[in-house]
Amino acid sequence: KQEVTQIPAALSVPEGENLVLNCSFTDSAIYNLQWFRQDPGKGLTSLLLIQSSQREQTSGRLNASLDKSSGRSTLYIAASQPGDSATYLCAVKGIQGAQKLVFGQGTRLTINP
Amino acid sequence: DGGITQSPKYLFRKEGQNVTLSCEQNLNHDAMYWYRQDPGQGLRLIYYSQIVNDFQKGDIAEGYSVSREKKESFPLTVTSAQKNPTAFYLCASSILGFDQPQHFGDGTRLSIL
């Protein structure tokens, strides 16, 4: 059974720092991995999708990497801003289990001005 | 604008009552999903549907029911058999295909009176 873990559960950093969020998964047989952002009381906004054949994806100040063999992904946020404060979730779509996404518990990020 | 609309935003259920959460999408997506999110946790799949008039149970389907009579609509009923229904419910949709991302609505928060 696929399990997804995100560490740390919460992170607080000063504005302007570069930071890395971690995501690990137990079964490397995946189609893709998706990073989401969730603001309090809101739905999920898709940030980046990395296919299993890819090593990384970039969008603006965000860069996500995927090492399928080791079961790890990282989300790198450059020059963090207070508006980046949110919960960040990663999810994998496994080869087993139709088109279901398996989610981590999220990292709650706070950027302090 | 294309998107996913969930209603209502807040819903209250009395003991023994069934309630229905609405999910409508105008993205022309074939696949639709319902997830449950509990505080501080990731999302868990309740039901999903890949085609009209067909749907499959997810990991936590007990106490829930769905229908898919139209491509754009996938309502979720929380029945009285669901003993712990208080949660945040998220609907998602996607194009069919293992490489396709899922897109989410803004959620419905269900509470018990």
Q: In degrees rounded to 5, what are phi and psi of residue B110?
A: -105, 130
Chain B residues with CB inside 8 Å of A49's CB?
101
B76 HSE (CA, 13 A, CB side): 36
pLDDT digits (tens, 9 = 90+) for B52-69: 999 999 999 999 999 999
pLDDT digits (tens, 9 = 90+) for B56-111: 999 999 999 999 999 999 999 999 888 899 999 999 999 988 788 899 999 999 99
Average pLDDT, stretch B14-38?
Answer: 94
H or E element at residue B7: strand B4-7
**B64 at A interface, C-beta within 8 A:** no
If you measure CA to CA, which chain A residue comes closest to B97?
Answer: A99
Of B35, B69, B52, B94, whose CA–CA distance to A43 is shortest? B35
Give yes or no for a contact between B111 and B13, defined as CB atoms under 8 angstroms apart: yes
* DSSP 8-state class, residue B27: S
Chain A residues with CB inside 8 Å of B6's CB?
43
Between the CA of residue A95 and those of A1, A30, B21, B83, B105, what are the distances in Å? Answer: 11, 5, 30, 32, 25
**B58 at A interface, C-beta within 8 A:** yes
Average pLDDT, stretch B13-26?
Answer: 93
- Residue from the list A4, A98, A101 with its beta carbon closest to the beta carbon of B56: A98
Of B16, B97, B2, whose CA–CA distance to A32 is shortest? B97
Tell me the residues of chain A between 37 and 76 that have a Cβ less than 8 Å away from chain B.
41-46, 49, 51
The 10 Å Cβ neighbour count of residue B63 is 15
Q: Which of A101, A102, A107 to mutate to test binding with chain B, by most B CBs within 10 Å of its CB?
A: A101
The 10 Å Cβ neighbour count of residue A43 is 21
A47 HSE (CA, 13 A, CB side): 27
| Cβ-based contacts under 8 A for chains A and B | 65
User: What confidence score (pLDDT) does residue B60 get?
Assistant: 95
Q: What is the DSSP string of B73-89?
A: B--EEE-TT-S---EEE
Q: What are the 10-residue block averages of pLDDT along chain A, 113 residues in total?
A: 94 96 95 95 93 95 96 97 97 81 95 95
**B108 at A interface, C-beta within 8 A:** no
